[in-house]
């Protein structure tokens, strides 16, 4: 099923200037970028986004980190996009993330793991609506899709 997901290059990824590399990985898989912006996450937005982790030992640090500099927020669309992007991102802790995944290739610590990706269809819908207005998400056709999608 074609659906959308929310992906975000965290402040460490923006500072390390790997936004382009990360976008390339999703583009070459055949996924479609339908929304994107460089932005700062307010403490209020960070707390809402990460509310499932409130009370955990790493929560305060996580909120501090995600608000510490600009992030690059994106909406991607495609077949099974939530599962596929989670696979391309790799395990939460970079020490367990396989080589070839983004976290496996670019980082060392769980507290600086470069990228966020929604973990389910429900969180994707919730997170997209937290970060994007409807008019910031575009619908457009790509002729190349006849070579990517089955008929
Ligand atoms: P994700 O969906 O793979 O990003 O992982 P989670 O939803 O479980 O956690 C959200 C974010 O919190 C992770 O991406 C990490 O940046 C951070 N985090 C998760 N677990 C830990 C932990 O045990 N220690 C620290 N320092 N940070 C963590
Ligand atoms: Mg998560």
Domain extent listing, the chain:
2-147
Whether residue 92 has its Cβ less than 6 Å from ligand 1:
yes
Q: Select the more confidently predicted residue: 13 or 151.
A: 13
At 151, is the pLDDT very low, low, confident or very high (cuts 50, 70, 90)? confident
For residue range 67-84, what is the model confidence (pLDDT) as tens digits? 999 999 999 999 999 999
Instruction: Give ipTM to 2 decimals.
Output: 0.98
Beta bridge partners of 132: none
Our answer to whether residue 116 is catalytic in this structure is yes
> In sequence order, what E strands does the chain have?
2-9, 32-39, 71-79, 115-117
Q: What is the spatial distance between Cα 44 and Cα 25, in angstroms, rounded to a whole number?
A: 30
Cβ atoms of 130 and 45 closer than 8 Å: yes
Q: State the distance from the centre of ligand 1 to the C-alpha of 148, rounded, in angstroms.
A: 33
Does the pLDDT of residue 8 top 90, yes or no? yes
2-147 has CATH 3.30.160.270 classification: no
Q: State the distance from the centre of ligand 1 to the C-alpha of 110, rounded, in angstroms.
A: 6
Whether residue 64 has its Cβ less than 6 Å from ligand 1:
no
What pLDDT is recorded for position 131? 99
Q: What is the spatial distance between Cα 36 and Cα 34, in angstroms, rounded to a whole number?
A: 7
At 15, is the pLDDT very low, low, confident or very high (cuts 50, 70, 90)? very high
Pocket test for ligand 1, best of 48, 95, 110 (most atoms within 8 A of CB): 110
Cβ atoms of 39 and 67 closer than 8 Å: no
Known binding-site residue numbers for ATP: 10, 58, 86, 92, 103, 113
Rounded to two decimals, the pTM is: 0.98
What pLDDT is recorded for position 6? 99
């Amino acid at each position: 099923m074609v659906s959308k997901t929310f992906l975000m290059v965290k402040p460490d990824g923006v500072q390390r200037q790997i936004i382009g590399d990360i976008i390339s990985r999703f583009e070459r898989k055949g996924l479609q970028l339908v929304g994107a912006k460089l932005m700062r996450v307010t403490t209020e937005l960070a707390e809402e986004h990460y509310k499932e982790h409130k009370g955990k030992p790493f929560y305060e640090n996580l909120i501090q980190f995600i608000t510490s500099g600009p992030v690059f927020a994106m909406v991607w669309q495609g077949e099974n996009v939530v599962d596929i992007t989670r696979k391309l991102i790799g395990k939460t802790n970079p020490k367990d993330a396989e080589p070839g995944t983004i976290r496996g290739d670019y980082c060392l610590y769980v507290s600086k793991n470069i990228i966020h990706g929604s973990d389910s269809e429900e969180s994707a819908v919730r997170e997209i609506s937290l970060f994007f207005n409807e008019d910031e998400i575009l619908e457009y056709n790509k002729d190349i899709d006849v070579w990517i999608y089955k008929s």
